[in-house]
């Protein structure tokens, strides 16, 4: 009997070990330690990926802040990244688009003095789901965490948490990207945007 109990003891001890949940499935991770892949298929301005940082500034004849778009199809996701603003740069953005026919779906504007979540119910239309005044520290790196689940979007940013709801949040998405306003047509002398640690995981 004693031998049987001793033989069974390891199995009993294993049964007492707590079972942790599986790690979320990583859908996309960009290290920005080498030139961008062909999945980053469209953009305005000058963009370079080096040493873990994606850097952008305005350039070219078109008077528009830098923007870069990446193919990435999903519906729900947990997104995180970091950004910082240099010089006269006033805001960074994280646009989410549908197909070419659908156009913009959502855009997150991360500014020095305002945070916005913009929805596009139809092509050519937009509405602020949220618009809040904020104060953003100068050249610091800022962490952003966005969760898109059903018709709800939750954002953790600048030591605050915001939640908004709209049917567009539940739409299938085809592209994500980065952009913003970096100071004007003087290019890198005016200002620049930097991004790093882009990671997208499946929502639980």
- Residue 72, pLDDT above cutoff 70: yes
pTM: 0.88
Query: Percent of the chain, pLDDT > 90?
Result: 81
- Residue 19, pLDDT above cutoff 70: no
Determine which helix (DSSP H) or strand (DSSP E) holds 175, and give its type and residue range: strand 173-181
pLDDT at 14: 41
pLDDT at 24: 83
CA angle 37, 39, 45 (to 5 degrees): 80
**Across residues 132-160, what is the average pLDDT?**
95
pLDDT at 21: 60
pLDDT at 95: 98
In our burial notation (b when 16+ CB lie closer than 10 A, e otherwise), range 107-144 reads bbbbbeeebbbbbbeeeeeeeebbeeeeebeeeeebeb
- Of 5-9, 41-45, 134-138, which has the strongest mean pLDDT? 41-45
């Amino acid at each position: 009997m004693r031998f049987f109990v001793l033989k069974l003891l390891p199995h009993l001890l294993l049964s007492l070990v707590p079972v942790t949940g599986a790690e979320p499935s990583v859908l996309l991770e960009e290290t920005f330690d080498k030139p961008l892949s062909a999945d980053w298929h469209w953009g305005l301005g000058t963009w370079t990926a080096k040493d873990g940082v994606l850097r952008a500034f305005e350039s070219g004849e078109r008077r528009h802040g830098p923007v870069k778009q990446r193919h990435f199809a999903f519906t729900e996701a947990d997104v995180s990244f970091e950004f910082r603003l240099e010089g006269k740069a006033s805001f960074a953005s994280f646009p989410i688009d549908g197909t070419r026919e659908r156009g913009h779906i959502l855009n997150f504007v991360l500014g020095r003095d305002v945070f916005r979540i913009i929805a596009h119910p139809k092509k050519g239309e937009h509405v602020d789901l949220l618009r809040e005044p904020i104060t953003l520290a100068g050249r610091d790196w800022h962490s952003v965490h966005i969760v898109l689940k059903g018709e709800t979007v939750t954002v953790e940013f600048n030591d605050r948490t915001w939640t908004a709801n709209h049917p567009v949040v539940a739409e299938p998405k085809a592209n994500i990207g980065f952009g913003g306003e970096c100071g004007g047509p003087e290019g890198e002398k005016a200002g620049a945007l930097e991004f790093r640690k882009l990671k997208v995981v499946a929502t639980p």
